[in-house]
Amino acid sequence: MRWIIVFYILLNYQKTYCQELFVVTDPASNVPANSLAINIMQSSFKNQFEKILNYHFMPEATYGLSKNLMFRGSAFISNRSNRLYAEGGGLMAKYRFYSTDDLNSHFRLAAYARYSFNRADIHQEQIEIVGHNTGFETGIIATKLVKKLAISTTVSYEKAFDNRPQYGFPNNLGDNATNYTLSFGRLMYPRKYTNFKQTNINIMVECVGQSINENGKTFFDIVPAIQFIFNSQFRIDLAYRKELYSSMFRSAPNGVYFNLYYTFFNLKKRKE
């Protein structure tokens, strides 16, 4: 049966496969086996201290090796040097180790690890290895889906290193942190699902936080988003990230995301 990229289980279709899709966090579900997902991630954040917009272009490719294991490669490009500059890249692996399925619900648990390298200057206390810091992150994801509602949460440990070749990690900053997320997503349209080619509209709210383990400095953001899925294969995300609380220095906490996501299904079968 054809894999479908949506974040909900089709009501009354017991054998339909699916995965939840969020904008800034990963669910415990994986990219379908033998499929390749290309995500053109873009963000524009307002700098708090200069009259500029920090633009990041971060394309990524994710391959589903099996239904439980996937791999991802990412590139990080930004305009911090007043021109588009390739700052680095990263690798990620995610393994789904627990899964239960009912007719209109399921529950997933997954573990993941990622490593990134970056050669940009270190300009804030927030640790973010996806686009800013060299380092690694490892964590656990739990995702529950009930009918049209998906709920997902993550807890992870993140460690930053020097941004080589020239930017050492500042001695006065904490170099490791605990991250935590809570995401809600709901299918709004169509009200009744009849075929795979229907356009889907999802709304979601994601909460993202971090605490520096050495000094307790913390931030907490909220990310409302809308998502469109066409022909069960092409997806458009639009989201706004807003800082609700922060006790740490962050250069550009508020901004927008615009992602273009496309999945190539059943690659091995096409080759045959």
- Per residue in 242-265, pLDDT (tens digit) is 999 999 999 999 999 999 999 999
Domain ranges of the chain: 36-271
Six-digit token pair at 189? 């349209």
**pLDDT tens readout for residues 193-210:** 788 789 999 999 999 999
Give the contacts of 177 (CB within 8 A, at least 6 positions apart): 127, 157, 158, 210, 211, 212, 213
**pLDDT tens readout for residues 165-192:** 999 999 999 999 999 999 999 999 998 8
Specify the pTM.
Answer: 0.90
Question: Residue 269: phi, psi to the nearest 5?
Answer: -65, -35
**pLDDT tens readout for residues 71-106:** 999 999 999 777 899 999 999 999 999 999 988 899
Per-residue pLDDT, 4: 36
Cis peptide bond prior to 224, omega within 30° of 0: no
Structural contact between residues 70 and 63, judged by C-beta atoms closer than 8 angstroms: yes
User: Residue 230: pLDDT above 70?
Assistant: yes
Annotation: CATH topology of 36-271? Porin (2.40.160)
Q: Which pLDDT band, with edges at 50, 70 and 90, does 269 fall under?
A: low
Rounded CA separation 126/170 (Å):
12
Calculate the CA dihedral of residues 126, 128, 131, 135 and round it to 10 degrees.
Answer: 120
